[in-house]
Homo-oligomer: A and B are copies of this chain.
């Protein structure tokens, strides 16, 4: 045996490889599936919808994006009529961001298509496996929010 790699290391490598493989395709797949909403726009809009509004700075922090990037993405979404800015009466600097009805609509459509694709892709999975898979993913991502040194 040339390199004393144990089984665990190989398993971790598999996980690393497969997760990477997935991310490589995510952007292009999103473009194919809902061309009107890029992966990033989709994500930001979805966040606004879930949170029932939040500030640009929060988005930047949460997604590890530069605030200028968020500013531009939001500007684009606003220009498309998918996002609305509501100035905070208490602090003129801050604007709460909210999806417009049109934003909700296009988001719902995109979400539906994503969901359908995932449902199809997971259609032959047993319930237990599905549950465990979801649990593992949540657990994996949880860590990264605290310690974000890794992918």
**B-contacting residues of A (Cβ < 8 Å)?**
8-9, 11-16, 18-30, 32-33, 39-40, 43, 63-65, 114-115, 117-122, 125, 127, 129-134, 136-141, 143-144, 147-151
Contact = CB atoms under 8 A, between A and B. Distances in A.
A115 B29 contact: no
B8 A151 contact: no
B24 A39 contact: yes
A149 B134 contact: no
Given A12-B115, A23-B26, A119-B12, A18 B134 contact: yes
Given A14-B137, A25-B64, A121-B144, 13 more contacts: A9-B115, A11-B131, A13-B118, A15-B134, A16-B115, A18-B137, A19-B22, A24-B40, A25-B148, A33-B149, A114-B151, A118-B150, A120-B147
A121 B134 contact: no
Contact of A143 (B119, B121, B132, B137): B121
29 contacts: A8-B127, A8-B130, A11-B131, A12-B119, A13-B118, A14-B134, A14-B137, A18-B137, A18-B141, A22-B141, A23-B23, A23-B26, A24-B39, A24-B40, A25-B64, A25-B148, A29-B148, A29-B150, A32-B149, A114-B151, A117-B149, A118-B151, A120-B150, A121-B143, A121-B150, A121-B151, A129-B136, A132-B136, A133-B133
